[in-house]
Structure 1
Amino acid sequence: MGRFGRYVAIGDQAVSSISNFVAVAITANVATAGEFGHFSLGYAGLLLFLGAQRALIGETLLVRYSTAGVLDSKGRSAVLGASVLTAAALLPLLLVGAVLADESSKLLWLMIAGCLPFVLVQDTLRYLFICEGRPWQALWIDGVWAVVSIASMGIVALNTGSVWAVVLCWGGGAAFALAVGLLLAGALPSPRAGRSWLRANRNPGWRYLGEFSALNASNLVVLYLLAIPLGAAGVGALRAAQLLFSPLNTAFSAIKMAVIPELVRSRGTTLFRRRLIETLMVVAALAGIWGVVVMLLPAPVGSLLLGDTWHSASELRLPYFLQYVAMVPYTVLLAYYRSVQANRLSTFMRAALALLTLALPLALAYAGGTRAAAWAFTLAVAVAAVAGVVATAVWTRKTRTETPEQPGSSSARPAETPLRGAGAAARR
C-alpha cells in the first residue's frame, strides 16, 4: 500500500469519524431531550454491532487476506455476503428496541434499525478496499456518504425538524455510498458464499469477536457498577474526562487498521521491524501532543465543551492522560499480534485488560472515590500492556529456541512461526 496509502487509510477513518460526529450533532439540535435519549440508545447499539462486525470480519480480512492483493469478484462477494449475514443476525436486536419503545419513538427506532444493514455492509467495503491496497476507494465512499448524508440531514433539519427523517437521511447516505462502493468493487454480496467464508475463517474470526465482546462487556458493566459507590455524577465525570481524550481512540484505531496490511505484507523482512518502530513513534507522538493540549485546555473552553461537568472532569485529566500513554505500547502490540497471527497473545493481553478494568476501578472507587477510580483505569491499561510485553518476550525467546535462525535470516523471522499454514488457508 505504501506510505501514502497508509495516510489515505488514516484520512478515511478521520472522515468517517468527523462525519458521524456532525450527524449526531445535527440530530441533537433537532431532537427533544427524550427523543435524543432514545436516539442515543439506538445509535449506541448500532455502533456496538458495527464494532462486533469489524472484529469478526474486518480484522480477519486484514490479517488473512492482505498478502493476496486484489481479490477476485467471488472473494469480494463472499466477504460482503458474510457482512449481510451478520447484519441479518443483529437486526432483530435493534428491532426489539422498537417494540419496547413508546409510540412516539417507535418510528425513530425503526429508522435506526433500517440503517444497520447499509452501515455494516458499507463498512465491510472500506475494510475490503484497504485490504486490497486501495484505501483511496475507501476514502471515496466515506466522502460520498459524508457529503450526501450531512447535506440532506441539514436540509431536513431546517425544514421539517423530524428526528426520524434526519436519521433516514443518514441511512440514505450510507445506502448511496454502498451503491457507489459496490460499483467500484465490481461485486454483489452473496450470502451463500458468505456462510462458507465465515466457516472457513471462524478461527481467528470468532476469537477476535470474543476479545471485542469481553472488553466491551467489562467496560459497560463496570460503569453501571461504579454508579453504586460514585453516584451518577461520579460516573458522568469519568465519562466526560474520557470524552476529552476520545479523538485518540479514533486515531489509534485508524493507525492500527492502516498498518496491519503493511505489516502482514512485509512479514519476514527488515521493513517489518521498521514499520513497527514507525507506528510506535507516531502513536506515542499523538498521545503526547493531544495529552498536552487537553492538560492545557483553558477552563472557558472546557466549560463550553462539557458544561457543568467540566469542573469535576478537569481533575481527572492527568490519570486519563497517562492512561493513553499506556495505550501506546498496548496498541502497537495488538497490531503486531494481528500481523503475525499470535492470537493467543492478543487474547491473553485483552482478557487481562477486561478483567483488570472490571476489578480495579470498583475496588479503588470504594476506597478513594472518583479520582481513585480514574487512576484504576490507568493502572489496568498499564498492567495489561506490561503483561503483553512480558508475554511477547517469553514467546519470542521460546520461538527462537524451537526454530533456530539460519545465517542471514531476518530478525523478524520468529514472528512468522504462528503463521505456518495460515497463508495457504487464506488463499483457499
Structure 2
Amino acid sequence: MSRRGLGAVASVLDQAASSATNILVLVLAARLSSAAGFADFSMVYVTFTVLLGLNMAYVGQSLVLQKGALLGSACRAGLAFTGAASAAVGAVLALVGLVLPGAPGRAFLALGLVLPLVLLQDGLRYCFSALRAPQRALAADALRLACVVPALLLQPEGASAARLVLVWGVSALPALALGLWLLWPSVRGAGLAELVREVRPYLRRGHLGQRFVVEFAVGNGSSQLAVLGLGVFATPLAVGALRGATTLFGPLNVLFNSANSFGPPVLARARGKRGVVRLTALLGGALAVTGAVWGAVLYALPDRLGRELLGDSWTAASALLPATGAQYAVMGLGTCALLTLRVLNPKATLSLQVVFSLLSVGLLLGGYAVWGVAGAAWGLALGSAAKAAAGWLRVARLDVPAPAASGTASEPAGV
C-alpha cells in the first residue's frame, strides 16, 4: 500500500478511536449512574462537546489548511492558544460550578478543572494532521481509549457525575504526554516572545477560524445548546434521554466524519458537476440506508441488552430510537448534499447552515412543547430532513462551469 493509502487508513482508524472513546464514555457513564446522575453527566458532556467543536472550528480546521515550512510554528501557536483559552474557559466553568447547587454544580466544577487536559489532547490530532502524520495521532488516541475505559470501569456503581467527569478528564494525561512527546521534534526551538508573536493572529479580526466557528455555531452548536437548554428550562432527564439515544448512533458519526474528511479530494477528480453529484448521491443513499438499518437493529434490541448498554437510561432512550434513526438516515443525505456544495461552491453552504440549523432548533423546542422528549427528537429529525432537501435543491440549481472546482483548501478565506 502507498504512503498516501496508509495515511488515509491511519486517519480513518484515528477517527474511529476518537469516536469510540466518546461512545464508550457515555455508555459506561450511563451504566454506572442512575437516570438522574446520567442526566447531570450528559449536561456537562454536552457543554464539553460544544466547547470541543468551537475549538475544532477556530483552531483545528484552520490549522489543517496550513502548508509549507511554517507548519511547526502553526502547530505550536495552535496548541498555545488552545491551552490558554481552555484554561480561561475552565476557570469560568469552575466558578459556575461553585454557584450552581448540588450535583450539577459539582459536575461543572469538575469539567472546569479538567477542560485544559481534554482540549489539548484533542488538539494534538489537528497538529498531526497538518504535519501529515496521522499515525502519531492514532497512537495518542488509541492510548486515550485504552486509559479511559479501564479508569471508568474501576468506578463504583452509583458514582457521582462529578467523580466520573474527573476520572474521564484525568485519564487523558497519558495520551496528552505521548502526543506532546511525539510532537516535540516539530515544534521545539521557540522562545516566549516568539510564541506570543505566533499566537497573536488568533486574536485578530478576520482570522480564518472565525468563518468555521460561524458554520459550527449554526450547524452543530445551536442544536447542542438547544438540547442543553432543555435541561435548564425543562428537565435534565430530557438531556439524558436524547444523549443516550444519539450515543447509540456513534458509529455512524465515524462514517459521516470520514466522508467529510476524505470526500473532497476524491470528488475533486470527478468530471464536472454531473460526476460529482453522481458520486455524492450514491454515497448519500448508502449512508441513509445504513442509518435506517442501524436504527432498526437498535429498536429490535431486547430490553435486557439495552440496559447492558445504557443502564437505567435505556427505557427513556429506547423510546426515541425511531425518531433518532430517522434523523440519522436523512443526515446521511444532508451530509452528502453539503459535501457536494463544498466541492462545487464552498461559499454556498453557510446560508443553508444558518437557516436550517435555526429551523432545527425551533422544531426541537416546539416539538418538546407539544409532545415532550419524543416531540423534541422528531423535531430534530424533521429539521435534518428539511436541511437535506434544501441542500440537494441548491445542488440542482447550482450553475457550475466545467470543469468542476478542484477542491476546498484554497476557498474558505473570509466570513
TM-score of the aligned structures, taking structure 2 as reference length: 0.76
Q: CA 1:303 to 1:3, structure 2 compared with 1: closer, same or farther past 3 Å?
A: same
Cα distance change on mapping 1:177 and 1:45 into 2, 3 Å: farther
Match of residue 140 from structure 2: 141
Match of 1:211 among 215, 238, 249: 215
2:251 to 247, 264, 268: 247
> Per the alignment, in what secondary structure is the counterpart of residue 297 of structure 1?
coil
Deviation digits for residues 352-409 of structure 1, max 9, x if unmatched? 2322222234445555565554433222111111112222333x31x43xxxx4xxxx
Measure the CA separation in 1 of the matches of 2:90 and 2:24.
24
Gaps in structure 1 of 5+ consecutive residues: none
Match of 1:351 in 2: 354
Name which of structure 1's ranges 247-256 and 364-373 shifts more when overlaid on structure 2. Answer: 364-373
Conserved 8 A contact 1:53-1:86: no
In the alignment, which residue of structure 2 is the partner of 1:57? 59
The answer to whether the 8 Å contact 1:10/1:254 transfers is: yes
Residues 1:181 and 1:26: Cα distance change in structure 2 (over 3 Å)? farther
Q: Is the 8 A contact 2:94 2:109 kept in 1?
A: yes
Does residue 72 (structure 1) correspond to residue 71 (structure 2)? The answer is yes
Tell me the alpha carbon deviations over residues 326-365 of structure 1, each in whole angstroms, 9 at most, x when there is no partner.
101221233444556723x222222223222222344455
**Structural RMSD (CA):** 4.4
Which residue number in structure 2 is paired with residue 14 of structure 1? 16
Q: Could you say which residue in structure 2 is the equivalent of 1:172?
A: 173
Distance 1:295 1:104 in 2: 32
Q: C-alpha separation between the residues in 2 aligned to 1:225 and 1:104? A: 17
Check conservation: 1:70, 1:132, Cα contact below 8 A. no
CA distance in 2, matches of 1:226, 1:87: 24
Aligned in 2, Cα 1:246/1:325: closer, same or farther, shift over 3 Å?
A: same
Mapped to 2, the partners of 1:15 and 1:27 lie a distance apart of 18
Task: Look up the match of 1:192.
Answer: 197
Residue in 2 aligned with 1:163?
163
The amino acid that maps onto 2:85 is: T
Residue from 277, 295, 298 that aligns with 1:294: 298
For residue 47 of structure 1, the aligned residue among 42, 46, 49 is: 49
**CA distance change for structure 1 residues 283 and 85 in 2, over 3 Å: closer, same or farther?**
farther
Deviation at 1:253, TM superposition (A): 2.8
- Bigger Rg, structure 1 or 2: 1
Whole-angstrom distance in 2 between the partners of 1:338 and 1:83: 27
1:199-247, Cα deviation, whole Å (9 max, x unpaired) = 48624x212212322343344336745998x977777655544343343
Native 8 Å contact 1:45 1:94 kept in 2? no
Q: Is the 8 A contact 2:292 2:326 kept in 1?
A: no
Distance 1:254 1:369, change over 3 A: same
Query: d(CA) in 2 for partners of 1:22 and 1:346?
Result: 32
Relative distance call for 1:27 and 1:283 in structure 2 (3 A) is closer
Query: What runs of 5+ residues in structure 2 fail to find an aligned partner?
Result: none
Q: Deviations over 1:122-162 (max 9, x none)?
A: 3222123224432212101112333345556667879x999
Alignment coverage as a number of residue pairs: 401
Cα distance between partner residues in 1 of 2:238 and 2:37: 25
CA distance in structure 1 between the partners assigned to 2:366 and 2:111 by the alignment: 37
Identity across aligned pairs (percent)? 26
Q: Give the structure-1-normalised TM-score.
A: 0.74
Query: Structure 1: which amino acid aligns with 2:378?
Result: W
Say if 1:57 and 1:285 are closer, same or farther in 2 by CA, change over 3 A: farther
| Matched-pair contact (CA < 8 Å) for 1:95–1:110 | yes
Distance 1:353 1:219, change over 3 A: farther
Give the helix-richer structure, 1 or 2. Answer: 1
Q: Quick one: distance in 1 between partners of 2:323 and 2:80?
A: 43
Inter-CA distance 34–252: structure 2 relative to 1 (3 Å threshold): same
Counterpart residue identity of residue 196, structure 1: P
Q: Does 1:5 align with 2:7?
A: yes
Asked if the contact 2:117/2:172 (under 8 Å) is kept, the reply is: yes
CA-to-aligned-CA distance 1:235-290 (integer Å, 9 cap, x gap): 76555443433432344234423445x35xx7466599487567546634542442
